[in-house]
Structure 1
Amino acid sequence: MVGGLAGELLLGGVVLVGASVQRMSGIGFALLTAPVLAVLLGAEQGVLLCNCGSAVISAIGLATSWRQVRPGAMLPLIAAAGCSVPLGAWVAARLPEPQLLAVMGALVTVAVLVVLRGARMASLRGTGGAVAAGVASGFMNSAAGVGGPALSLYAVNAGWTVREFVPNAQCYGLLVNLFSLLARGTPRLSHPAWLAVAAALALGAVIGHWAGGRVPERRARTVVLLLALGGGATTLLKGLSML
Structure 2
Amino acid sequence: MTAELALLPLSVMAGALTQRVTGIGFALVCAPLLVLVAGPFDGVLLANLLGLLVSAVVLAAHWRETQWRKGLLLAVPAVLAIPPGAWVARTVEAPQLMVVIGLTVIVALGAVVLSERARVLRGRGGAVVAGGASGFMNVTAGVGGPALVLYAVSTGWEHRRFVATFQLFSILTNTLSLVAKGGLPQISTAALLVSLLGLGLGLAGGQRLARRVDHELARHLAIGLALVGAAFTVVKGVLTW
Q: Same fold (TM over 0.5)?
A: yes
The Cα shift of 1:130 comes to 0.6
Q: Which amino acid in structure 1 is aligned with residue 222 of structure 2?
A: V
Q: 1:32 aligns with which of 29, 45, 54?
A: 29
Deviations 1:112-155 (A, max 9, x none): 01110125456411111111001101000001101110011011
CA distance in 2, matches of 1:29, 1:123: 25
**Residue 171 of structure 1: aligned partner:** 168
Deviations 1:198-242 (A, max 9, x none): 222122111112111111111111111122122222212221222
CA 1:8–1:39: 2 relative to 1, 3 Å: closer
Q: Which amino acid in structure 2 is aligned with residue 156 of structure 1?
A: V
Q: Which amino acid in structure 1 is aligned with residue 165 of structure 2?
A: N
**Residue 214 of structure 1: aligned partner:** 212
The Cα shift of 1:191 comes to 3.2
The Cα shift of 1:7 comes to 6.1
The Cα shift of 1:110 comes to 0.5
Q: 2:149 aligns with which of 147, 152, 165?
A: 152
- Secondary structure, in 3 states, of the residue corresponding to 1:64? helix
Percent of pairs identical after alignment? 45
Q: Aligned pair 1:238/2:233, yes or no?
A: no
TM normalised by structure 1 equals: 0.93
- Secondary structure, in 3 states, of the residue corresponding to 1:65? helix
Are 1:47 and 1:143, in contact at CA under 8 Å, matched by a contact in 2?
yes
**Residue 11 of structure 1: aligned partner:** 8
Q: 1:47 aligns with which of 44, 58, 75?
A: 44
Please say which of residues 209-218 and 9-18 is displaced more in the overlay: 9-18
**Residue 85 of structure 1: aligned partner:** 82
Are 1:51 and 1:141, in contact at CA under 8 Å, matched by a contact in 2?
yes
- Secondary structure, in 3 states, of the residue corresponding to 2:185? coil
The Cα shift of 1:169 comes to 1.4
CA 1:234–1:189: 2 relative to 1, 3 Å: closer
CA distance in 1, matches of 2:230, 2:194: 24
Pairwise CA RMSD: 1.6
**Residue 73 of structure 1: aligned partner:** 70
Deviations 1:19-70 (A, max 9, x none): 1111111111111111111111111111011000100000011112112110
In structure 2, the gaps of 5 or more residues are: none
**Residue 135 of structure 1: aligned partner:** 132
**Residue 53 of structure 2: aligned partner:** 56
Q: 1:109 aligns with which of 101, 106, 110?
A: 106
The Cα shift of 1:167 comes to 0.9
CA distance in 2, matches of 1:141, 1:121: 21
- Secondary structure, in 3 states, of the residue corresponding to 2:160? helix
Please say which of residues 50-59 and 70-79 is displaced more in the overlay: 70-79
CA distance in 2, matches of 1:122, 1:11: 35
Are 1:113 and 1:229, in contact at CA under 8 Å, matched by a contact in 2?
no
Q: Which amino acid in structure 2 is aligned with residue 239 of structure 1?
A: G
